C-alpha cells in the first residue's frame, strides 16, 4: 500500500483527491486503522503522513516477525552450579566495590582469587558488570573466569565479545584442539609440549599448512615451551613462511638456540660489521661497529624486517642494525667481544648506534629468557648470562627513558634476590619510585597472562618498604611536609601497593592518622588531595581485610541459582 501512497505524496494531496478513498480500501489487518484515518477532520497532508507512519511501523514489525523463523534454536540452559553464590547482602556489597574504578587491579585479582579459594562464585546479578570489567582489564580475566560459575560460562557463550574472557581453558582437551578458539588450541598445544615435546611438534607441523597466517602465528608460540635443538628444523623452515609475524616469531625463538645454524649465520653477519683496533700502546682492544650499508636480500628469509616503519625514530641503517641485534643471542656478545654485559652497554653508549644496539639487546635478552620465567642467579648456571644482562640493562643510565612496561618485564625475570637487592639499594633515597616499580613488576606477569611467573615480595623488603611509606605519609598527613609532587606520586602508588604487601604490614597503614587541616588557603587543594590519598589507603586496607575474612563455602548437594 505504501507504493500507492507515494504518487500522492509526490504530486501533493491537493492534486490527488483520492487519498481517503484509498485508505478505506486498505486490506486487513490495517483496514480498521486506515478507515479511521480516512474520516478524521485533519488536512489531507497530515492524514497522509500519519498513514505513512503506520505503514512504516507495520513493515518493521512484519520484518521482525518474519525473521523469527530464521533465528537459531535457543541454547540449552546453564548447568547447575556446584558452588554456592556469594550472595549475602554484605558480601554482594564487597563484590560491588571491586567495580569501583579507584580499586587497584592487583587488589581485584587477589579478592576474586580469595572468592574462588573459599569455594564461592559470583551472584548472577554481578555477572554482566564483572564480565564487562574483565573485558576492559585483561589481567582480571583468569580471576573472573574462576568465579563466574556455570551461569557465567553460559552468558559468555551468548555474547561473542565476552568469549575472550574464558577462551583459554585451564585443562584443555582434544575437543578444544579440534573445535576450540585459537587461544584454546594454543593452551592444548602448550600442555602437550610440557608432556611430550616431539608429539606436539609433529601435531603442529601437520596442522600449519591448513591455517591462515594469524592462526599459524598463534600456534607457533607453543614451541617456546620445552624449546630444544630438535625444534630447529621446523623453526628454520618457518623463517620462510608467508606470514611476517610467523617469520619474526620463529627468528625470536631461534635466539634461544645459540648453537643453531641461524646463530652461525648471524655471527657471520657481525663479522663483517665489527672490527677491533688496538689502543693504549696496543695493550687494550677497542671495538668499532659499522651498520650495514645496504639491504641484504637474504634478510627476509632470516626473520629480519628490512623495511623501517615511517614512525620509527631509528634511521634506515640503525633499523637494520637493530634487526640484527634483536635476533642475536646475548651470549654471542660476551663470548665474541670478551666484555661483560655492563661493559658492552658502556661501549654501546659510546658509539653512534647506542639506540639501535640497546633496543636490540633488550629484546634479545627477553627472547633468550623466553617462557622460562625467572632466570638463575647472576653467578650461577643456568641463566647466568641472561641474569647479568638483565642487571646491566636495568642499571643503564638511559633506562629511565625506556617504556615502563618493558622495564617491569625485565625486572620480573630477575631472581628474587637480585630484584630485592636492586630495590633495597634505592629504597630510602627514592621510596616512591621503588614502590612504583614494585607494583609494576608484581603486576606484569598478570598483564602478560602468565600468573605462574608472579613471585611474592621478599618479606624483609616488604617490611622496609611499608615502613618508609608510612614515614612519608605520616609527614604528609600531619602537614609537616607539603610536597605536591610527593603527594601526587603516592596518590597513584600507595593504594596499589596495598595489594602486594603481606597482611602483617597493614596494621601500621591502618594506624595512620587522618590529615590535619592546613590553615594556609594556598594549600587547600593540596590538602584535598592528601585527604583523598588517606581515604583510598584506608578503603584498600579495609577491602583487603574483608576478603581475607571470607568464610569457606559450605559443601552442599543443593545449588544456588542466584
C-alpha cell at 199: 608429539
CB 364 within 8 A of CB 333: no
Q: Which is it for the CA torsion 125, 126, 131, 132, positive or negative?
A: positive
Task: Please give the Cα distance from 106 to 447 (Å, whole number).
Answer: 10
More confident residue, 123 or 384: 123
Cell 618485564 -> residue: 409
Task: Please give the Cα distance from 319 to 457 (Å, whole number).
Answer: 38
CB 349 within 8 A of CB 339: no
Task: Please give the Cα distance from 246 to 24 (Å, whole number).
Answer: 69
More confident residue, 418 or 454: 418
pLDDT score of 70 more than 70: no
CB 364 within 8 A of CB 328: yes
- What pLDDT does residue 376 have? 44
Between the ranges 276-280, 412-416, 462-466, where is the mean pLDDT highest? 462-466
The model's confidence at residue 279, banded by pLDDT at 50, 70 and 90, is: low
Any idea what the Cα angle at residue 303 is, between residues 288 and 408, rounded to 5°?
Answer: 75
Task: Please give the Cα distance from 371 to 42 (Å, whole number).
Answer: 78
The model's confidence at residue 271, banded by pLDDT at 50, 70 and 90, is: very high
- What pLDDT does residue 556 have? 54
C-alpha cell at 477: 598527613
Q: What is the pTM of this model?
A: 0.71
Instruction: Render pLDDT for 19-59 as a digit per residue (tens, 0 to 9).
Output: 888 888 877 777 778 888 888 888 888 888 888 888 888 77
The model's confidence at residue 392, banded by pLDDT at 50, 70 and 90, is: very high
Cell 551472584 -> residue: 123
Phi and psi, residue 277, nearest 5°: -125, 155
C-alpha cell at 164: 575472550
Instruction: Render pLDDT for 223-262 as a digit per residue (tens, 0 to 9).
Output: 988 888 999 999 999 988 888 889 888 988 988 888 888 9
Amino acid at each position: 500500500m505504501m507504493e500507492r501512497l507515494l504518487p500522492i505524496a509526490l504530486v501533493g494531496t491537493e492534486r490527488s483527491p483520492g487519498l481517503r478513498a484509498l485508505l478505506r480500501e486498505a486490506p486487513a489487518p490495517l483496514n480498521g486503522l486506515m478507515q479511521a484515518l480516512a474520516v478524521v477532520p485533519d488536512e489531507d497532508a497530515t492524514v497522509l503522513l500519519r498513514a505513512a507512519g503506520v505503514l512504516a511501523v507495520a513493515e518493521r514489525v512484519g520484518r521482525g516477525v518474519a525473521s523469527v523463523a530464521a533465528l537459531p534454536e535457543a541454547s540449552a540452559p546453564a548447568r547447575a552450579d556446584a558452588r554456592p553464590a556469594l550472595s549475602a547482602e554484605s558480601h554482594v556489597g564487597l563484590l560491588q566495590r571491586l567495580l569501583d574504578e579507584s580499586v587497584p587491579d592487583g587488589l581485584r585479582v587477589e579478592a576474586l582469587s580469595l572468592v574462588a579459594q573459599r569455594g564461592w562464585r559470583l551472584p548472577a546479578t554481578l555477572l554482566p558488570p564483572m564480565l564487562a570489567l574483565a573485558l576492559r582489564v585483561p589481567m582480571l580475566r583468569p580471576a573472573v573466569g574462576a568465579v563466574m560459575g556455570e551461569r557465567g560460562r553460559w552468558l559468555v557463550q551468548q555474547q561473542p565479545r565476552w568469549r575472550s574472557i574464558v577462551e583459554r581453558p585451564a585443562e584443555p582437551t582434544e575437543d578444544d584442539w579440534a573445535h576450540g578458539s585459537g587461544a584454546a588450541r594454543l593452551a592444548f598445544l602448550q600442555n602437550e609440549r610440557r608432556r611430550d615435546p616431539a608429539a606436539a611438534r609433529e601435531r603442529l607441523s601437520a596442522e600449519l599448512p591448513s591455517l591462515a597466517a594469524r592462526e599459524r602465528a598463534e600456534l607457533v608460540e607453543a614451541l617456546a615451551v620445552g624449546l630444544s635443538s630438535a625444534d630447529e628444523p621446523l623453526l628454520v623452515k618457518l623463517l620462510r613462511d608467508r606470514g611476517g609475524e610467523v617469520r619474526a616469531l620463529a627468528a625470536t625463538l631461534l635466539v634461544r638456540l645459540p648453537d643453531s645454524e641461524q646463530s652461525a649465520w648471524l655471527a657471520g653477519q657481525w663479522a663483517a660489521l665489527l672490527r677491533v683496533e688496538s689502543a693504549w700502546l696496543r695493550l687494550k682492544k677497542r671495538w668499532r661497529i659499522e651498520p650495514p650499508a645496504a639491504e641484504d636480500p637474504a634478510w627476509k628469509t632470516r626473520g629480519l624486517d628490512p623495511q623501517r616503519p615511517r614512525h620509527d625514530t631509528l634511521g634506515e641503517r640503525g633499523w637494520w642494525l637493530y634487526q640484527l641485534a634483536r635476533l642475536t643471542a646475548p651470549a654471542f656478545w660476551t663470548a665474541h667481544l670478551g666484555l661483560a654485559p655492563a661493559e658492552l652497554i658502556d661501549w654501546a653508549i659510546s658509539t653512534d648506534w647506542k639506540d639501535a644496539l640497546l633496543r636490540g639487546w633488550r629484546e634479545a635478552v627477553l627472547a633468550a629468557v623466553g617462557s622460562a620465567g625467572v632466570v638463575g642467579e647472576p653467578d650461577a648456571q643456568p641463566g647466568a648470562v641472561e641474569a647479568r644482562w638483565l642487571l646491566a640493562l636495568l642499571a643503564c643510565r638511559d633506562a629511565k627513558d625506556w617504556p615502563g612496561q618493558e622495564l617491569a618485564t625485565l625486572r620480573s625475570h630477575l631472581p628474587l634476590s637480585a630484584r630485592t637487592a636492586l630495590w633495597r639499594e634505592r629504597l630510602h633515597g627514592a621510596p616512591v619510585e621503588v614502590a612504583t616499580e614494585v607494583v609494576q613488576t608484581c603486576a606484569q606477569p598478570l598483564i602478560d597472562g602468565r600468573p605462574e611467573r608472579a613471585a611474592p615480595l621478599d618479606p624483609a623488603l616488604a617490611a622496609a618498604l611499608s615502613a618508609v611509606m608510612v614515614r612519608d605519609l605520616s609527614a604528609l598527613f600531619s602537614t609537616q611536609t607539603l610536597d605536591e609532587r610527593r603527594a601526587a606520586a603516592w596518590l597513584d602508588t600507595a593504594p596499589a601497593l596495598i595489594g602486594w604487601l603481606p597482611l602483617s604490614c597493614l596494621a601500621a597503614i591502618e594506624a595512620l592518622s587522618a590529615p590535619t587541616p592546613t590553615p594556609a588557603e594556598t594549600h587547600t587543594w593540596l590538602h584535598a588531595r592528601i585527604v583523598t590519598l588517606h581515604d583510598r589507603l584506608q578503603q584498600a586496607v579495609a577491602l583487603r581485610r574483608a576478603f581475607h575474612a571470607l568464610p569457606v563455602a559450605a559443601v552442599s548437594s543443593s545449588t544456588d541459582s542466584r
